[in-house]
């Protein structure tokens, strides 16, 4: 099982710290960051936000060689787990990458999680470090333990963005499926009940159209769905996950 631990490194300089633990690495283990993200159809240079990469096997430092703009190679010895850590500069308030300040945190996996090449099909786990007082986490990833989330492979891991902070959240059921709506930056007069009611109607119509079958009884191909909305004064955009 491949494990990632993400924690807040510094709120004021907008940095996360990520640690990857990879059991049984290859002698020359390649690690790379995608230049893509689900739902956005352009090349994205996420690796420019990474810094301070370090690698170890136990107490032994492991040499890292950068092969291109987004790929590194670790010179491993034996089958001891490889541990790699790095910092991520998170100051992109769009839907594509990562954000962190004293009010809110957010990230997409393709911008923060180096993938272990050749091991993408392994089970992946994500744990979140301690959050500031009052903050919560919201994501579509299944929670397997307090602060820990599971994914069957790398693609599933990075297909679920994570929201951190003191946000509004509400739930509803559409065609028997649990849905959650999370809103960052909701103002005091925000009408959450209306948002849930309107979104429920839209979801039910979409589920019945695409997955309902002739009699409208076929279940949709998911067990839970989460909407993440960042309400801003001036901005737009969205990603389909």
79 token code pair: 């089958």
pLDDT at position 210 is 87
What residues pair up with 64 in beta bridges, in sequence order? 74
Rounded Cα distance, 124 and 50, in Å: 21
> How high is the pLDDT of residue 195?
97
Q: How much of the chain is in helix, strand and coil states, percent to nearest 5?
A: 15, 45, 45
Residues composing the chain: 241
3-state secondary structure (DSSP) of residue 55: strand
pLDDT recorded at residue 219: 76
Half-sphere exposure of residue 29: CA atoms within 13 angstroms, side-chain side: 31
Q: What is the DSSP letter of 49?
A: G
Q: Which residue, among 201, 224, 223, 20, has the nearest Cα to 138 in the 3D structure? A: 224
- Low pLDDT (below 70) residues in the chain: 213-217, 241
β partners of residue 60: 57
Asked if 124 and 157 count as a contact pair (C-beta separation under 8 A), the reply is yes
Identify the pLDDT of residue 212.
Answer: 73
pLDDT at 170: 97
82-89 and 50-57 beta bridge pairing: antiparallel
Quickly tell me which residue has 């820990």 as its tokens. 148
- Tokens encoding 158: 């990075």
pLDDT of residue 215: 60
């Amino acid at each position: 099982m491949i494990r990632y631990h993400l924690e807040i490194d510094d709120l004021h300089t907008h940095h996360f710290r990520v640690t990857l633990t990879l059991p049984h690495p290859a002698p020359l283990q390649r690690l790379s960051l995608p230049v893509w993200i689900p739902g956005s159809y352009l090349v994205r240079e996420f690796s420019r936000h990474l810094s301070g990469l370090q690698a170890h096997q136990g107490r032994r430092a492991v040499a890292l060689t950068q092969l291109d703009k987004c790929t590194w190679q670790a010179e491993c010895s034996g089958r001891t787990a490889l541990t790699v850590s790095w910092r991520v500069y998170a100051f992109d308030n769009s839907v594509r990458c990562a954000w962190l300040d004293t009010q809110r945190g957010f990230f997409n996996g393709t911008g923060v999680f180096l993938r272990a090449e050749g091991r993408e099909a392994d089970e992946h786990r994500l744990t979140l470090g301690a959050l500031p007082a009052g903050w919560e986490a919201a994501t579509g990833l299944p929670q397997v333990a307090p602060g820990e989330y599971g994914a069957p492979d790398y693609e599933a891991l990075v297909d679920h963005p994570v929201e951190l902070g003191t946000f509004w959240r509400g739930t509803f059921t559409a065609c028997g499926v649990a849905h959650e709506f999370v809103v960052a930056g909701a103002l005091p007069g925000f009408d959450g009940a209306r948002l849930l009611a309107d979104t429920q109607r839209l979801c039910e119509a979409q589920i019945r159209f695409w997955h309902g079958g002739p009699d409208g009884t076929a279940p949709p191909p998911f067990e839970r769905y989460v909407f993440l909305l960042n309400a801003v004064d001036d901005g737009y955009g969205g990603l389909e996950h």
